[in-house]
Amino acid sequence: MERALRSVARSPSGDVGRVAGTEDRASVPATYRKDFRVRCTSKRAVTEMLELCSSFVQKLGDALPEEIREPALRDAQWTFESAVQENVSINGQAWQEASDDCFMDSDIKVLEDQFDEIIVDLATKRKQYPRKILEYVIKIIKAQQEILKQYHPVVHLLDLKYDPDPVLTCIN
């Protein structure tokens, strides 16, 4: 009796639960159930795998008699696809709840490669363009210096002579 009392578990609400190993699936709280579905990240990847596996189902049908082959193959294909859909979770969601627009790893890899190419291209332009701009800046400065060398004032200066004694020149 003492062992049975030790194996009784308390639920978070404080109620006494059933003896370990005797509870049925419906009585176990959802927080205690472990998700035994296969975790996937892309619904599209799983769909592609289903398409690949459909050829195996078709090969299984080759051994069946001709008159029952078509309905048996349809049934086997439907059973296989529904079993996969029930036992797969997409990012923690059930098959029906998951969206179809998830990116596959290969799509993400292609986008990362393109992004890397853009970064490299931009970095090389940042190195090249200052050199190209510098050439034009130097040409502009030299042209301005040439223009300044060619500048001559329009007004001609007169040579003014200084008379040492301005009073004497006025009297005479």
- Between CA 73 and CA 138 the distance in angstroms is 79
Which helix (H) or strand (E) is 6 found in, with range? helix 2-6
Helix, strand, or coil (residue 23): coil
What digits encode the pLDDT tens for the residues 118-168? 988 888 888 888 888 888 889 999 999 998 888 776 777 777 777 777 666
What digits encode the pLDDT tens for the residues 98-117? 777 655 567 788 888 889 99
pTM: 0.40
Report the pLDDT value the prediction gives residue 143, as an integer from 0 to 100.
93
Return the domain boundaries, the chain: 38-90, 103-157
More confident residue, 26 or 139: 139
Within 13 Å and on the Cβ side, how many CA atoms surround 75?
6
